[in-house]
Each structure stands twice: as structure tokens, then as C-alpha cells.
Amino acid sequence: MLVPALAVMLAGAVVSGARVSDVSSADSTPRLVVLLVVDQLRPDELLRYRTEWTGGFKRLLDQGVVFTRGQQDHAITQTGPGHSTLLSGRYPAHTGIPTNALGAPDSLATLIGDPTAVGASPRHFTGTTLVDWMIARDSATRVLSVSMKDRGAILPVGRSREQVYWWSKLGFFTTSRYYRDTLPSWVQAWNARAPVRHLAGRSWDLLKPAATYPEPDSLPGEQGPDGRATFPHRLATDLTAAGSQVTHFPWMDSLTLDLALTGAARLELGTGSGGRTDLLSVSLSTVDEVGHDYGPDSREMHDMLLRLDGYLGWFLDSLAATVPAGNTIFVLTADHGVQPIPEQAVAGAGPMPVRAWPGPIVSALAGALRERWQTDFGIRFDFGVVTADVAALQARGVDPDSLSRLLARQLAREPYVERVYTPSSLAVASATDPLAARWRHTLPAGLGWLVTVTAHEGSSWGTWTTGADHGSPWPADVEIPIVFWGGGTRPQTVTAPVRSVDIAPTLARLLGIRPTEPLDGVPLPEVGRAPR
């Protein structure tokens, strides 16, 4: 098993310094729920290299309840919307998080130690999550959520003001003033180890001999932050640049896991008296960065996943030193998938994938209205949806329905467009139309919007000339792995389609707690405690 040596060197005695749990592994009471989210992980990637796993992926796949057809069943498959579904049991239409831009950004919630960064909080999130249901049953419940990304740390736990931390591009973990005004001593001590100083200038080389990787070292459309498409990839020597670039290197995930282990030990997650159940949420973001840089079919992605397999094995072993695996329920999943790099597509029966961005069409319409009324109506395109201040349009005598139809006709003429909906046409679209269903699962009732547009399958939104992206309602973006392990579950593989919104109600049933509001998801019957 690969052990992240740098993280061990920095953390020192995470395991040995923790209090060994008094909870017997024979005790059937779940004491800890662990959510592991691998940002941008597709199920085919998890299964493609299955014979090569030796660490955490192997353990979870061999011993868990493996759902091979999990789905983020909504249309804008971005990080924010995806994370908002995982512990809420509700679609983005009901969590209030339809896009990244309408997710965690909050200028009022500045970051501790990084005042120039965009602030972040869950103020846009609506409703509750598993965290709230757990605390409603036992107010002593402890919660820790960590990620490289702010939205990856924030949105799984909803509006709760728990221990929530993410990476500052200045090279340390922090949080926003939505949660607290100072970092706790254990986070400050972790940051004092200055991991970027130890990593600056290091090379990311292949973990195994080059001949064992079937992927070419260079494919069309690849480019990393170091400007290279081939191994090795070198992190900047300048500390300021390295603090930002490290998020594109595998080591970032080992640092995130190390912070999670440190926090779990210091907060005594899963080891408290009174039989309480705690929650640890860890979102690992580097697969997403590597996928954007090099694509899902790259040698870099293969090597990244091999390393993450080792990191997760180390994490599971370290956590088991304080909380027996039999008293811990793990969920491994993802917030979305990813499309292949368009330039790598092979001509087939359907339209060739392209990089598309209808921003100029939308901007022209917005500019004409702004010039006519001397008012900015907030007309913006964001990964498939054109939003607007509908009330302001109506106040000026502009009919939103007529405007929607006009814009829809313009967009429908674009060669890359597969489907366009207006609010009126979406309302009457067939219940058997999967694209319409995913758009309905995406758009909150109070969101002002004019048009949704879906590009041809395989196409990506954006003006980037390299890399891969996600955000569509097509299978490569929607499909995710979902694996439950521990807590007495019986190993099996399930090929029936399930959804990310089914995770929270399934965990609630395992914990014997009731959600405090209606959910879109349902408990998965395959996930239950094995009979003794």
C-alpha cells in the first residue's frame, strides 16, 4: 500500500497521539459516519483499474455494497450542486444550489487569513441535511467537514455552523467568518507545518514503470499548470505559486486526508461517551483538477487514481486505530463525472463534440435591453441556464415569456445545440424525457430564468482550448459511483440505477433517525445490516 510519506512526516503522530477508542468492535451501534467524495470520479474509472487497486478502493469495492450505476440526477453537473445533494437527500431544485456561481460564494463571509479570496458560506443553501437530523436526535453530535474546495467542504453539511475547513491558495487550510473568527489551535498547528514549503519544486513522477500504463503520455488537448502534457510534472519553486498549483498535484489529497485525520483525533469523532454518532465529511478535489488538465483517459488520471487508492488505504487504517471499522459507516461517491476532451473524439454516428459557449448571444440580448432601459436585468448564461431578474423585466413592461421564446429560437439555431427549454415548454415536457426531468431537478422555484440549453453529448461549455470539463445532463457527467461499506452491511454489487439523493435517507435509516423534511431520495433496500 502506498503511504503518503509527506503527510506522515508533517502530521507526525496523528495515530499514535490519538486516544484509542473504548468502543468495542463488537458493539453494533454506529459511532461514526464517513462521507468520502472524490470530485469528478466516474464509475468506469473506479472499475477500469480494479485489478490494480491495493488500498482503499480495493477494500471498499471488495467489502462494500457497490452501486455501479449511481447518478447525480440533475442537469448542471457541477461541484456545488452535486455536493448539495449528498447528505440532503434533495435535488438542487430543493437545496437552492443550481450552479457553482449560485452556491458557496459569499462576499460577506471573508476567509480567515486570506482577506483577498472570495468569501464563502452556505447562505444560499435551503433546508436541512443528515447533520441536522443527527443533531436533532443528539445535540452532542460532532461534525467535521474538510476539502480543498470551499463548496466541497461547505455544501454537504448544509447551513450548520460546524467545523468546516478548506484550502487557501496562499498555502494553508482555513474557513470563513460564517463559521468562526479564529482558527482552532489544532488547525493552526497543522498549518504551522508549512506543507507547501516541503513540496515546492518537487516533481510528480509515475508511481509505476511507464510500460505498465496503457495510456499514451500525451494526448490532444492536455496541459498541466506547469505547461507540460507529459511526465514529469513539476510544482513551482516559488511558494506563492506553489500554494495555488499544488491543488493540481496528487499530494493535495494526502494533505486533505491528513487534516481530516488530525481533526477526527482532536475532536474525538466516533469515540465519545453516551453512544453518540458523529460525522466526518471529506471531499477530495485533486481528481477534478487532474481531469480538467489532462482528461479522464490520460496517463495522469491513471497515476492519480493509483496514488489516491494508496492514500485512502492509509486513511482507513489510521482512522480504524481510533474507531473500529465495525462501528463506522463509510460512503464513497462523487459529485459528478466528466466528458472526454473534445479534441480526442473519434468521428461516429452523432455530432462531433465541440467546445461551445453561447455567451455572446446572451450578452447581445442583455446589452440591447440594458441600452433600451438603462437597467441591468441580470441576464447571464451559466452552464446551460440563462438567468434573469424576471420581476425587473416585468416592471419595465418586458414580457419574460416572449423574451424566452426569442432567445430560445436564437439558441436553437446554433449547430452545437441539442435541446432548448423555456419555462413554458419545460412545464409541459414529457415526464419520460430524461433531459427535461434533470432540468426540473435543477432549477429552484424562486430562480428567475429564461432558457435552458443542452449541447450535443460530449460537448463542453467554455472557451478553454485545452482540458476536459463537465456540467451537462449526459451520462458521462451524470454517472457516479456509490459505495456503502461498514456498519454491518453485506458486500454485494448492484447494477440497478440509483441516485445521489438516495444516500442521505439510506444513512438515516441505518442510524435510526428521521429526516425533518420531505426528501427526493429513498432508502436503498440493498444497504442494511447483515444478520448476526
Residue intervals of the chain classified under CATH 3.40.720.10 are: 31-341+474-511
Q: Amino acid letter at 150?
A: D
User: What is the pLDDT at residue 4?
Assistant: 56
Enter the C-alpha cell of residue 421.
427549454
Buried b / exposed e along 5-37 (16+ C-beta atoms within 10 A) = ebbbebbeebbeebeebebeeeeeebbbbbbbb
β-pair partners for 494: 67
Say how far apart CA 202 and CA 242 lie, in whole Å: 10
What is the pairing mode between strands 233-234 and 203-204? antiparallel
**In Å, how far are 65, 247, 290, 498, 506 from 529, measured between CA atoms?**
11, 38, 36, 19, 12
Cell numbers that stand for 104 in this block? 458557496
The SS3 call for residue 32 is strand
Residues of the chain with pLDDT under 70: 1-28, 529-532
Q: Which CATH architecture has domain 355-461?
A: 2-Layer Sandwich (3.30)
Contact, 150 vs 123, CB < 8 A? Answer: no
pTM value is 0.95
Contact indicator for 487, 325 with CB cutoff of 8 Å: no
Tell me how far apart the alpha carbons of residues 97 and 7 are, in angstroms, rounded to a whole number: 33
CB atoms within 10 A of CB 163: 23
Within the chain, which residue ranges are assigned CATH 3.30.1360.150?
A: 355-461
Asked if 193 and 166 count as a contact pair (C-beta separation under 8 A), the reply is no
Fold held by 31-341+474-511: Alkaline Phosphatase, subunit A (3.40.720)
SS3 254: helix
Burial label for 211, CB within 10 Å (0-12, 13-18, 19+), is: exposed
Are 107 and 86 spatial neighbours (Cβ–Cβ below 8 Å)?
no
Beta bridge partners of 233: 204
Distance, CA of 23 to CA of 27 (rounded, Å): 7
The Cα 259–Cα 282 span in angstroms is 10
Q: Where are the alpha helices (DSSP H) in 267-397?
A: 286-294, 299-320, 359-373, 390-395
Q: How far is CA 209 from CA 108, 205, 278, 287, 316, in A?
A: 49, 10, 42, 21, 27
CB 72 within 8 A of CB 521: no
Q: What pLDDT does residue 28 have?
A: 65
The single residue listed with the C-alpha cell 470551499 is 150
Fill in the amino acid letter for 146: V
With 0-12 / 13-18 / 19 or more C-beta atoms within 10 angstroms meaning exposed / middle / buried, residue 306 is buried
Q: Which residue type does 377 have? A: F
- Indicate the DSSP class of residue 390: H
Cβ atoms of 119 and 107 closer than 8 Å: yes
In 354-414, where does DSSP find H-type helix? Answer: 359-373, 390-395, 400-412
Residue 102 DSSP class: T
